[in-house]
Amino acid sequence: MAMKILVTGAAGRVGIALRKELAAAGHRLRLVDVRPIKAKKGESLVADITDPATVRKIMKGIDAVVHLAYGWLSKDEGMNIARSHDVNLKATHLLLWEAAEAKVKRFIFTSSLSVFGRTDHLVRRKFWNERSIPHPCEHYGFTKLLGEEACRYAARVHDLSVIVLRLCYVRNPEEWEEIRRYHPKTPFQKRGRAMATHVDDVARSIHRALRIHHRGFELIHVAADSPGRVTSIRRARKILGFQPKHRIDD
Contacts of 156 (CB under 8 A, 6+ apart): 216, 217
The CA distance from 33 to 50, in Å, is 11
pTM above 0.75, yes or no: yes
The CA distance from 194 to 225, in Å, is 9
List the chain domain ranges: 4-240
At 231, the amino acid letter reads T
Q: What is the pLDDT of residue 227?
A: 86
* Cβ atoms < 10 Å from Cβ of 139: 18
Contacts of 63 (CB under 8 A, 6+ apart): 3, 4, 5, 104, 105, 106
Q: What is the mean pLDDT of the chain?
A: 90
The CA distance from 14 to 214, in Å, is 23
Assess contact for 123 and 196: CB atoms under 8 A.
no
When pLDDT is cut at 50, 70 and 90, the band that residue 249 belongs to is confident
Q: What is the pLDDT of residue 202?
A: 98
pLDDT at 125 over 70: no
CATH topology of domain 4-240: Rossmann fold (3.40.50)
pLDDT in tens, 42-94: 799 999 999 999 999 999 999 999 999 987 655 566 567 888 899 999 999 99
End-to-end CA distance of the chain: give it in Å, rounded.
Answer: 40
pLDDT in tens, 168-209: 999 999 998 988 888 776 766 667 778 899 999 999 999 999
